[in-house]
Every structure is written in structure tokens, then in C-alpha cells.
Structure 1
Amino acid sequence: MNAAADTPVVIAGGSLVGLATALFLGRHGVRSMVVERNEGLSPHPRARGVNARAMELFRWAGIEDELRSMPSAKALAGNSGIIAAESLAGKEMGALKEGYHRDTGAADDDAGWLGATGWCLCHQHEVEPLLREHAARHGADLRFGTELTGFEQDADGVTVRTRDAAGAEHSIRTAYLVGADGAGSLVRRLLDIGMDGPGTLAHFLNVQFRADLTEPLRGRRFVMCYTISGKSRSGLLPVNNADEWLLHVPYEPDRAAEFTPEHCASLVRTAAGVDDLDVTIEGVASWESAGRVARSFAAGRVFLAGDAAHVMPPTGAYGSNTGVQEAHNLAWKLAAVLHGQAGPGLLDTYERERRPVAEATVEQAVLRSKDRPRLAGGPSPAPDPRIKPDPVVTFGQVYRSAAVEADAAGGDPLWEPEPTGRPGTRAPHVIVKRDGRLVSTLDLYGDAFVLLCGPQGTAAADAVARAARKAGVTVETAVIGRDVHPVAVDLCRAHGLTPAGALLVRPDGFVAWRSAGPPAGSDDLGGLFDRLLCRSADAPAEVADRVAG
């Protein structure tokens, strides 16, 4: 066994979530090693919906503009909506018009009142190379063609065993291991962590093909077209709105041999409604539509993220986006612990905050998947009442933290229609002017704790500054009216503050503490950061909200 150099974090899996984890860690100054058994990235388009919250995170990581410049992102920028038709050339049978339809990727007004940026439709095989490039720029050691074969953990770290493409075995000593190695996660299986949920819903083939569908498309710009012709049912997805496409086809795994290139081409012609269509099949990939959540997201120094932690139907494009948010949540916490700013107990909050979100998201994805047959005149004329209406789904579940229970007035601890500044929730988005530029308040967050103060919030700012100095924690301060200037919006009202109040935001953009007015003399802020960062065994992470002015 060859000894490898120590690395703070090893990430098993070099797909979208693993690469995002490496990039986010790098942004926080933490080196990581990514081990991926495949020699390179998948060329298959696969997932393509990058939701608003994930785009916010990529914006912070500095890759939003590049992502929106990818070929598929530019080609699909105007696409929205889901339709059903006999075929692409045939009669339309219905369209998804319910209030939750924006989960299909329409960017329309996403950036207008809830977020700094909106949806982007960009295929995964274009997103992943961008993540790989930037993760490497931030110090990640990317080892493709290297398979994780096992690991052992102890009180001081994890010993990871790998095998490279040449068959050489290596032992890597790391402080923490992140399993982002997909639905069949070896990391999860070695931890003996089971999964719960409805299980397998269906099996599909993704048929990647090239054909000129300009004429039957008739200028339409949809996200997906369900085609129903006799017993043939499929989903047609544009890659460039012209001659690059994907076809989702249901199939039985024991009959996979029947899906020859010729048969797949025939299915494409049926879906297009053009009998003599010239079709080139470029690839076929199988996938399982299922709903499952791991019973635990962590065991000791090992964590699960992405498909290793949960699988869900692609309806709503929640799967990879939920994984990206997990990577972001985990990255700043690992960085805080590795940099000596937080106690190891902070890492326990990863599961407490993210697993309930994953459970709720899987439930919604499954409900949406089962709802889609209505497009073709299915048995139910109305959507399942358990489906959360838009924009609660598109924003509530991705912004709400499970760190805080529902308040005394009632409500769901995971779903909020609009951020209000309440601790435990993602901080509100408000357009402000800073250094002569219009920015979102969300652009203030990401690298450190940020204290947002009202224009008369000197007492609150001083109290938090003293607590930060005592704890040795860096806190950036932004004073309303001095450092940031509201534009057509009452910034204090949006955050639940009086002019003398203040609000503390975590590095991941979630509210950690709020005082609507000036802190009272009895308010104990001396141990605020010890509590937030779990610096002692008897100081679990908590958030606080002082509503009284």
C-alpha cells in the first residue's frame, strides 16, 4: 500500500454534487480530494434544471455567468411549461397550468421578489466540466479513474482505501469523508445505512438523439412534451430546440435488449409524429424513478450527500439541486471545524437541518410524478391537495432550515411562502445599493457571518461585535442607510427589524440571530457564537429571535 499525502476532506464521487462540494470547500479555503471510479465525466445530458437556490450558490461560487453561457443554457433560456400531445406534430391534449407549474424551470419572475437570480436550464454534461474546472482552481485534487474500495474511521480521522486505473492501491488519511457516490453509494452501504420511502416507481431509458424537429416543433419552446400515441408513451425534451433531443421511454429492465438503435429510432419517429424522420441515436442510458431517503445522513466523520442520501423522481428537477444545497450546508460547517472556529458538534446540525428537507422534497417530487398523467386525461381532474403550491415549493423548501421548529403561531417548519428574516430561514432578498451598485442583500453573504443593522442599530452592532471579538470570530457588518441603501423597499420591514434592530446571518445565508430592537441589558450575547458554533459539548447549535423592540 502506498501512503498518500493527508488531505482535510475526501469526497467519494466526481459527479455534480461531489464536484460542487469540492468547489464550495475550496471557496472556504479547504483542500479536498475527489475520487471517482470513472475515467471522466458522463457525456450524457441527463438532468438539466438548475433551480433558483442552486443558482444563488453558484453565483456565490463565481460561476453563474459561465453557466448561463453554456450552449444548452443559451438555447433553452426561453423555454418553459409542460404539454401533452398525441405526438410533437400532432394534436395537443393538455398543458400543466396549476400553480406549481414553475417547478418546470421557467425563470419568468423568479428573480423579482424572492431571489437574486432565477432558474437556468443547463444540461448536466455541461455543468459538471465547469464545476470540475473551478474546483481544481480552488485547490481540489481530482482523481478520476480512482475507485474508493473501503474506509475505516477512528476518533481522529478516516483512512480511505482506493484503487486506481492501473490497479495500484492507496491509503489516504483524511479528517472527513463525504459520500457523494450516487444512488448505489458504496459509502452508504459500508456504513450499513438503510433507506426508506415509496421505493421504485418506474424504469426509464434516456435516448439521446439527433434529428431535425424544427417543422413539427412549430416554434414552441417547452421544457417537456409528453407524447401519447396508442400504447406508446414518452417524454420529449429539447437540448437545443432544433436537432438535439432526449426521449424518456418507460421500459422493463428484463426487456432492455429489445431497445436496439433501430427500435429507439422507431420510438423517436412515433413521438415526433414523422414516419420518415432521419434519426441518429447518440446514446442510451437507463435510470430508475424512485423515492427514497437514507435513514441517516452521517455516521461519525462520514457524511452522505446527493443521490447517496436520497433519490427522487426528476419531476421538478429537485434531486441534484437538493444535493447542491447539502454540499453548501456541509462545506461551511466542515470549514469552520477544520479552521478551529467551531466545535465538532456543528457537524451534527448537517443531518438535523438537511434530512427533513430531503424527506419533504422527495415527497413533493413523488406527488408531482404521480400527478402528471392528468395531462393526458388521467383519472383525476385536479392535482393532489398535498402538493405544495408555487412559489412555496420552488422557494420555501429550498430556503427553509429545519434548525428551528414552527413558531407558536403555528405553521410548517419547512415551508414558508416568503422569507421574513425569522431565524432558521434563508435570509430575505432585497435589492440595495452598495458601493454605487445595485445588488441583492443575498450577495452580502457567503464567506463569513454578516450582521445587518438598522440605521439606528449601533447598540446591537456593538453587542454582537463584542461577542465576536470574545469568540475570535470574524463578523462583517452592513448598516442600513450607510453601507447598504434601500431602493424602493423598506429593508428593515423585510427583515422583521425596527430601525434599532439587527440580524446575524450565517455563512450559508441562513439567519442565525435577530433582535427586532436594541438588545436589552439582560440579553446575554457573550456566548452567542459558542452556541452557534457548538464550541462545547453543552452548547448545541441554536438560533435566537428577540422579537420585542
Structure 2
Amino acid sequence: MLSTTRSTLRNTDVLVVGGGLAGLSTAVFLAQQGVDCLLVERQPELSGHPRARGVHPRAMELMRAAGIEDEIRAMPSARRLAHNSGVLAARSLAGPELGSLDDKYVMDVGADVASLSPTPWCLCHQGELEDVLRDRAERLGVALRFHTELLSFEQDGPEGEEITARVRDHATGAERTLKSRYLVAADGARSGVRDALGIPFDGEVFGHYINVHFRADLTEQLAGRRFLMCYTFNEQVRGALMPLDNSTDWLLHISYDAAGTDAGSFTEERCAELVRAAAGVPDLDPRILSVSRWEGAARTADRFHDERVFLVGDAAHVMPPSGGFGSSTGIQDAHNLAWKLAAVLDGWAGPALLTSYDEERRPISEATVEQAVLRSRDRLRLLDEPGGRRPADPGIVEDALVWLSWRYRSSAVTAWDESVLPGHGVWSAENDGRPGSRAPHLRLRRGGAELSALDLFGSRPVLLTGPDDRAWREAARAVSHDLDVPLALYGIGTEVTDIEDRWPERYGVTAQGAVLVRPDGVVAWRCADAPVFAGRTLRTVLARLLGRDAAGGAAGTTRREGSGER
């Protein structure tokens, strides 16, 4: 009989629940900021299942900041699929093509994004991406506890200042009580943490699917094509074939009627029949590696934040796979939250900063879910006759806008004019350094090495200035000292060189102006020219954006050092 002995596990800053893509990303980003965190995952190991493929440019920018871009691009699927692009529709892989996805809103994987980002798409599948993140988390000192389940949690303490969680090690049966300052729920679409908090997660179910990972040599049927996905429509199967190595390693998504079909009926034999139908090869003998089911749904949690608990990834939102936005959205959740937790734990931001997580990420997530839904419905146009295809839904915005041109409106950025976002909610085609937007990519040179402006951001706020920046330099030194904020300053034309001379154009300032960028690379505030009282202005702005009180205090928050049993 397994032991059920209890012990107390204390002194971790953040407990991360869930060891998938969002949870591992959260742990990596927190550890980069020096935050002591512990991750628990009820499964004994990572699944390794390919599932989603494709990491969008913004998510790859965050992987670059985490120091693992090269590792991800070196993974087998990323190398083998590096030159794949395009979405097709056909009766079967061997049969006649019905059309391709070539609408204006689509920015293909092979498109040149060098003017927008320092890093393009990467077609690494999720199983391999999670392996890289796990390795990086371990190197950064994150305590990873697989086969460990969260049983319950409470937000307690004299003033509700900590989390008390009970976890069980399934390998030994031992139960432990864990104290942490915050809890991040990355426990998936069926989040137990979200349910325990009573947070509604309503939405629409679009369909039910079976994923079949299989091996079969389809080189002849590919006929040299290098696509991302081939939708297959015939009497036997309606699904999508996705190559993992352009030869023998494949994933097949199969749509089925959950009301009239038992998911358990998808045996290996039946899945093999469906693979043959999708491939268009009646005598194919595929090797079925794994079969999993999933629900195609569009849902966003009513709130992403409940006192000291935060939802990220699928616990906060789920969306159809069309567009491939789901995993990248979860990575961005984690990145947005990590620096805020670190700033509050370190004491240079007030707890009020944490309310901006829900203010920022929930509207973006809702809008992204909507875009995924619109794209999912739009795929049916691939069945239209080539000469009479219906136009795309006008509500669909361009891929590049969804990836890179969202704008936050919250207490952690200065106010902005809503009129610059006509018709598309959170999306703006103006990528010019407006507050709330991702800081624009700018090619720079420092010490003989080329870098992006995005490489300057990470663990602390940054003040970017032009060459005429004496007033700002004096202000930054004084404010950093007075508020005890680790504020960095980079002069464009002094510390770094603007290779293409685009600084004023891209950031909307003059040679005397300045732009305040948050650690997550989001523009918090900008000033076109140096005001007479630069120090007073910068101090007021920084204190307000960081959730400090009127006197600039951060409510006495200091980081608790991890010192307990791990």
C-alpha cells in the first residue's frame, strides 16, 4: 500500500500548476527574472505528441529572449519542415487538388518578415518545443515535479498574502503542503484551478476531432510538394494531413460526430482505414503511433486573475487551430505575467501592477479566439469552385496584425486614442511605437554586433533616447535611484547605432524624445521632445505605470527567498 505521509513544503515564490507549453514557458520566463518557482504536473512525463506545429514570430521573439531560439530551430521537425508552406485542399493526398489558401489575410510561413521582426516562423512541433523548454527550465534551476497532482489550494494568511496548496506525489503516494506567494494555473482547458475559483468558461463547440500520429511512406503521393497542411474531403474521411518530416512521419486530424460516434470506436484498425482514405492509397499499411481526441471550441475565461491566482494558456482560453494562434497566445500570456510577478516580488512595483495582466491579456485573447473562429469557418471556402470562390469574411484581419500589432489598454500603459483602431478592436496597422503596442523591431549595432531593438528588453524597464539625451540621462539616473527601479537607458546614436536610421520614424519621437519600454517589450509611454522637467515627468509616469502609490512606494513588497524542501 502506498504511503500517505504528509510534510510541509515552504518558501517558493510561485507555484506553477501544469507542465505543458504554457506552464513550462511560465517557469522559464519566471526563472529568467530570478523568481524562485516550482512546477507540478500530474502526468509522469511530457506527452511528446506532435499536436500543434508552428511558432509565430512574436512567440519566437520570446523564445529568442529566453536564449533558446537556436535550440528550437535545431529540433528535427523544425529542420525538416523549414521550407514547407501553404495550405491545400484535396480529395486525398494522392487525388486531385481542390484549391489552396491564398487569401490576402494569410501571411505564409515563407513570407519575409525581416522588416517586422528579427525572427521568422518556426515549424517545430509542440512535443519537441516542450522538450526544449523543459531543458531550459531545469538549467535555470526550476524545480519540476512531474507525476505530482494539485489536490486543493487556498488563498490564506492574515491578509490573504499567500497560497497554501496540497499536492500528491503519485509515485510514492506522499502528500505535501506547499506555501507560495502566487499560483499560476496552466492546467489546460479542463483547468481544475479555474473550476475551483468558480470562473465561468463559456463558449461555443465547433466540432470533435481525433488526432492520429502515424508512420507511412507517402513520398510518392507528396510528389515533391512541401505544404503545411492538406485538408482531405472524401466520402470516407474529412480531416487534415500534416507532414512532420515530408516523408514517413504524419499527423491526421479527423472530424467526427461526437453525438453519434463513440470516440472509443477509433481503434488502430479503424484509424488505419481513415489514414488510407486520407492518403488515397487503398493498400497502405500505416503504423499507428498514438491516437488522441480533442474538442474544437472557442472559449475565454471571464477573468484571468483572482487575487493571487492567474490563468495562462488553455486554462484561460481555447480556440480552433485554424491560424495556429493557440500555443503562441499562451506563450505571450506567460511572458506578460512573468515580469510583473518578478517586479512585485522584488519590490520595485506595487501589487496593483498585477491587475493589468487581466486588463491586457483577456481582451487580446478574446479577439484572437474570434480570429481563429473566423478562419476556421473560412476554410470551407476551399471547397468552392476555383472560379467562383466566395470572398473571405471582412472581419478577418491579416495574420501579421494578429501576431505583432495588438495594443494593450491598461493601468500599465499610458492612455491612447481609440480612433487609431477603427473596425478591428485591439489590432492596429500602425506599428510606430504607440503606448500599449509591441516595441517596433529596429536593426541596431553595438560593439560590432548586429542586434534588434527587441534584444534590449527583458528583465527591467528601458528608456530609449535619441542622441540629444542629456536631460533624459540625468532624469533616468535620479528616478532609478529615488524609486529604486532598475531602469536602463540606451541612447540611439550613443550606446547603439541605428543601422537604417529609422529610430524617429519607427518610434514616433524626435532627437530629443524618449520612449519607455517595459521588460516585456511593450511601449509604456513616450515623449516626442524633452520636457523642461524631465525628471519629474519620468518619475510620475514610472510610479503610476508600476502601480506605486502617490509617494512612489511599492507597498513594502519584497521577494521571499526559496529555502524550503523542494
Any stretches of 5+ residues in structure 2 without a counterpart? 1-5, 555-566
> Of 411, 415, 432, which aligns to 2:421?
411
Structure 1 residues 46-85: aligned runs within 5 Å: 46-85=51-90
Is 2:273 the counterpart of 1:266?
A: yes
Change in Cα spacing, 1:203 to 1:376, as seen in structure 2 (3 Å) is: same
CA apart distance, 1:539? 8.1
Scaled by the length of structure 1, what TM-score is found? 0.94
Between the aligned partners of 1:449 and 1:223, the Cα distance in structure 2 is: 38
Structure 1 residues 32-51: aligned runs within 5 Å: 32-51=37-56
Matched letter for residue 213 of structure 1 = L
Q: What per-residue deviation string (whole Å, max 9, x for no partner) do you get for residues 185-211 of structure 1?
A: 0000000000233x2110000000000
- Any conservation in 1 of the 2:272–2:286 contact (CA below 8 Å)? yes
The residue number in structure 2 matching 1:509 is: 521
Between the aligned partners of 1:8 and 1:525, the Cα distance in structure 2 is: 30
Between the aligned partners of 2:309 and 2:10, the Cα distance in structure 1 is: 19
Single out whichever of 299-308 and 523-532 deviates more from structure 2: 523-532
The residue number in structure 2 matching 1:309 is: 316
Between the aligned partners of 1:540 and 1:119, the Cα distance in structure 2 is: 42
What percent identity do the matched residue pairs reach?
Answer: 51
Change in Cα spacing, 1:237 to 1:466, as seen in structure 2 (3 Å) is: same
The residue number in structure 2 matching 1:389 is: 398
> Of 472, 476, 501, which aligns to 1:464?
476
The residue number in structure 2 matching 1:349 is: 356
Structure 1 residues 221-300: aligned runs within 5 Å: 221-230=226-235, 232-253=237-258, 254-300=261-307
The residue number in structure 2 matching 1:331 is: 338
| SS of aligned partner of 1:519 | coil
- Any conservation in 2 of the 1:345–1:540 contact (CA below 8 Å)? no
Q: What per-residue deviation string (whole Å, max 9, x for no partner) do you get for residues 425-477 of structure 1?
A: 11110111111111111111112111111111221232233222211111221
CA apart distance, 1:136? 1.3
The residue number in structure 2 matching 1:432 is: 444
Between the aligned partners of 1:392 and 1:350, the Cα distance in structure 2 is: 21
CA apart distance, 1:528? 2.8
Matched letter for residue 401 of structure 1 = Y
- Any conservation in 1 of the 2:89–2:231 contact (CA below 8 Å)? yes
Is 2:349 the counterpart of 1:322?
A: no
Is 2:539 the counterpart of 1:526?
A: yes
> Of 169, 174, 177, which aligns to 1:168?
174
Question: What root-mean-square deviation, in Å, do the aligned CA atoms of Structure 1 and Structure 2 show?
Answer: 1.8
Matched letter for residue 335 of structure 2 = H
- Any conservation in 1 of the 2:13–2:37 contact (CA below 8 Å)? yes
Is 2:146 the counterpart of 1:144?
A: yes
The residue number in structure 1 matching 2:104 is: 99
Change in Cα spacing, 1:539 to 1:83, as seen in structure 2 (3 Å) is: farther
- Any conservation in 2 of the 1:532–1:540 contact (CA below 8 Å)? no
Matched letter for residue 138 of structure 1 = L
Q: What per-residue deviation string (whole Å, max 9, x for no partner) do you get for residues 388-425 of structure 1?
A: 1242223223xx22336651644256212242111111
Single out whichever of 297-306 and 442-451 deviates more from structure 2: 442-451
CA apart distance, 1:380? 6.5
CA apart distance, 1:218? 0.6
Is 2:435 the counterpart of 1:423?
A: yes
Change in Cα spacing, 1:251 to 1:55, as seen in structure 2 (3 Å) is: same
Matched letter for residue 187 of structure 2 = D
| SS of aligned partner of 1:391 | helix
Structure 1 residues 182-193: aligned runs within 5 Å: 182-193=188-199
| SS of aligned partner of 1:492 | helix
Scaled by the length of structure 2, what TM-score is found? 0.91
The residue number in structure 2 matching 1:108 is: 111
Change in Cα spacing, 1:501 to 1:310, as seen in structure 2 (3 Å) is: same
The residue number in structure 1 matching 2:563 is: none
Q: State how many pairs are aligned.
A: 535
CA apart distance, 1:361? 0.3
Between the aligned partners of 2:54 and 2:502, the Cα distance in structure 1 is: 33
Between the aligned partners of 2:372 and 2:553, the Cα distance in structure 1 is: 32
- Any conservation in 2 of the 1:392–1:418 contact (CA below 8 Å)? no
| SS of aligned partner of 1:329 | helix
- Any conservation in 1 of the 2:50–2:126 contact (CA below 8 Å)? yes
- Any conservation in 2 of the 1:467–1:527 contact (CA below 8 Å)? no
The residue number in structure 1 matching 2:510 is: 498
- Any conservation in 2 of the 1:90–1:273 contact (CA below 8 Å)? yes
The residue number in structure 2 matching 1:119 is: 121
Any stretches of 5+ residues in structure 1 without a counterpart? 542-549
Single out whichever of 479-488 and 169-178 deviates more from structure 2: 479-488
- Any conservation in 1 of the 2:17–2:186 contact (CA below 8 Å)? yes
Matched letter for residue 432 of structure 1 = L
- Any conservation in 2 of the 1:395–1:417 contact (CA below 8 Å)? no
Change in Cα spacing, 1:393 to 1:156, as seen in structure 2 (3 Å) is: closer
Between the aligned partners of 1:162 and 1:194, the Cα distance in structure 2 is: 24
The residue number in structure 2 matching 1:9 is: 14
Matched letter for residue 202 of structure 1 = G
CA apart distance, 1:248? 0.5
- Any conservation in 2 of the 1:107–1:120 contact (CA below 8 Å)? no
- Any conservation in 2 of the 1:81–1:101 contact (CA below 8 Å)? no
The residue number in structure 2 matching 1:215 is: 220
> Of 201, 208, 213, which aligns to 1:203?
208
The residue number in structure 1 matching 2:365 is: 358
CA apart distance, 1:56? 0.4
Matched letter for residue 192 of structure 1 = G
Is 2:374 the counterpart of 1:367?
A: yes
- Any conservation in 1 of the 2:155–2:163 contact (CA below 8 Å)? yes
Single out whichever of 282-291 and 476-485 deviates more from structure 2: 476-485
Is 2:466 the counterpart of 1:454?
A: yes
